[in-house]
Structure 1
Amino acid sequence: MIYVSKNTMEEEVTKAKYQGLHIQEGDVLLILVSALDEIAVKPFNLNTANKVGNDTGAGINQYAQPSEYLVNDEGFIYFPVIGNVFARGMTQVQLKQDLETRLKKYLTDPMVSISLKNFNVSILGEVKNPGQKESVSQKINIFQALGLAGDMTDYGDRTKVKLIRTGDDGVDQIVNIDITRSDIVNSPYYYMKQNDILYVQPDQNKQVLANTNPNRALTFQIIGALLTAGTLIIALTRK
C-alpha cells in the first residue's frame, strides 16, 4: 500500500505550508496574560495563583494558569475588563495581537499566550482504530491523523478519502482526497483543523464481500423461516 506515489514527492513536499488554525464556535481557548506589574495584570487572568518574589524583590506570578474561554455561537469570547472580543475566523496569532493591542490601554508591555484546549478530529471507516482522536499538537497533517487511528486497513480506498470540515462561515463542506498523490501537500486540506472528520471508503473488493457475505444470506434464510412458521401458526389457530 503506497502513499504519495504519484508525481515527484521531493518537489512537492517543499511547498507544504502550515497556515495555522482558525478559531471556531465551540472552541475552548486557554489564554494567559502576563506583564511586569503583576498587580495590574491580575484582573485579566481568571485563574490567578500565588505570587512569588524574584531575586530583585519584584513580584512575579510564576504559578499563574491559563484561563478557559469558550467561543460562543456568535463567535465571541468574554474577556475580563475588556468585554466581548470577536474571535471566530481568527488565527491564534491574530487574536493574540488583537488582545495585546487592547490591553496596552491598561498594561505596560502586555504579553498574551493562547492555545486551543479541545483539538479533536474524528477518523471513521476503513481504519484500524476508528473514533474521535485528541491530538496534543495542533499542527497535524492528514497522515498523522490516520496514524492516530492505526492507519487504514487493507480494504481502505486510498484514492477516496472524504474530509468533512466546517468553514469559517459555519457551513460544512465535503471534499474528496486522493492520498496517493504527492501534491496533496499543496492542498488546503493537508493539515487538519479542529473537529475535522475523515472517512475512509472501502474499496471495491470490500464492497463486493459485504454484498456477498454468507452471513447475510443466512440472515435472510432465518427471517424467511420465521415468517413461514408464523404463517403456519396463524393458519392453525384459525382452524
Structure 2
Amino acid sequence: MLVILSSCGSRKEMVYLQQDSTQINTRFEEFTPRVQTNDILTIVVTAADPKVTAPFNPLSTMSTGNLTQQTDMALRPTYTVDEKGDIVLPMLGRVHVSGLTRIQVIDKIREELSQYIKDPGVNINFNNFRVSVLGEVARPGSFTLPSERVTVLEALSMAGDLTIRGVRENVLLIREVDGKKTMHRLDLTKQVTLNSPYYYLAQNDVIYVEPNKSQINNSKLGANTNIIISIASLIITVISVLTR
C-alpha cells in the first residue's frame, strides 16, 4: 500500500503545458539548426536543361526511371562536412558551410553555380539529422529524422511518450555546439517551455527523462527483498491461522 501511495502523482506533476498567462512567441526561424562538422548533406542540383547539371550530380546520373524513389534517394550525392567546416563539390571545389542554416547553404551554392548554370535550383537535406531519447520513455532509442524542424515534444512522442514514472518538470537536453556539450533543463508542465531556445531540436541532441522518486525507491527493492516480503507474509498468515 505504501508503494502504491508513493507512486501516485498529482495533476500538477503529470499534465503537459498547463495553462497560464505565458505569451507564446516561438519562431522556428530563430532556432533553425545550423550545419556542423561531420554532418552529411544530400545536395541535388537542378536546372531547366538536366544535361547541364550532370557534372554537379555525379551519382544521381545513375538513376533511371525504373528505380524506386527509395533507391533514387540512395543514389543521390552526399557530402560530409570536414573538420574545417567545408564540403567539396564537383566543379566548385571547397565551399564553407559550417555555421550556416540549410537555406543559407542553398543560397550560397546557388550563387556559386550561377557562373555555370542559368537559374540553378539546389535542394539540400540533412542525411544524419538524428536525436536520441533515453530514460523513462516507452521506447528509448535514436531516431533519424527526414526534416530538421522537430520539437522536443515530437521527439518524445516518437519514443512513445514519457512513462507515468518520468519526471516532466526536469527533462534534460544535451546539445553539442562547436565540439562542446551543453546541458539544459526543460519543464514540460509549463507553457514557457514553448518559448525556450531548446524547444526546437538540433542534430545529435540527446533527451534524458529521469525517473521520479517512487521509481528510484522501487528500484532498490531487488528480487531478494520481494522473496523476504513473501515469506514474511506467509509466516504471518500461518501464525494468524494457528492462533485463532
Which TM-score bucket, shorter chain as reference?
A: 0.7 to 0.9
Q: 1:214 aligns with which of 213, 218, 222?
A: 222
What does residue range 71-110 of structure 1 map to in structure 2 within 5 Å? 71-110=81-120
Task: Choose which of 35, 38, 48 in structure 2 pairs with 1:36.
Answer: 48
Aligned 1:8-47 pairs, distance under 5 A? 8=21, 11-12=23-24, 15-19=25-29, 20-47=32-59
| 1:95 to 1:156, Cα distance in 2 relative to 1, 3 A | same
Q: Distance in 1 between matches of 2:181 and 2:18?
A: 30
Aligned positions, number: 204
**C-alpha distance after superposition, 1:52-74 (max 9, x if no partner):** 9xxxxxxxxxx896311111222
C-alpha contact (below 8 Å) 1:6/1:180 kept by paired residues: no
State the superposition RMSD in angstroms. 2.3
The alignment's TM-score, normalised by the length of structure 1, stands at 0.78
- Offset of 1:51 from its aligned partner? 9.6
Cα distance, 1:218 vs. partner?
7.9
Identity, % of aligned positions: 33
Q: Which residue of 1 aligns with 2:124?
A: 114
After TM superposition, the structure 1 = structure 2 runs for residues 132-147 of structure 1, keeping only pairs within 5 Å, are 132-147=142-157
Structure number with higher strand proportion: 1
SS of aligned partner of 1:133: strand
Correspondence for 2:201: 192
Structure 2 segments unaligned to the other structure (5+ residues): 1-13, 65-71, 228-244
Is residue 110–residue 121 contact of structure 2 (8 Å, CA) maintained in 1?
Answer: yes
How far is 1:104 from its partner? 1.1
Deviation of the 1:135 alpha carbon: 2.3
Alignment-mate amino acid for residue 73 of structure 1:
E
Write out the 4+ residue segments of structure 1 that deviate beyond 4 Å after TM superposition: 216-219
Pairing 1:153–2:166 present: no
Say which SS state the counterpart of residue 139 (structure 1) adopts.
Answer: coil
Q: Which moved more, 1:120-129 or 1:169-178?
A: 169-178
**Equivalent residue letter for 2:41:** L
Check the 8 A contact 1:163/1:196 in 2, yes or no.
yes
TM-score, normalised to structure 2, is: 0.77
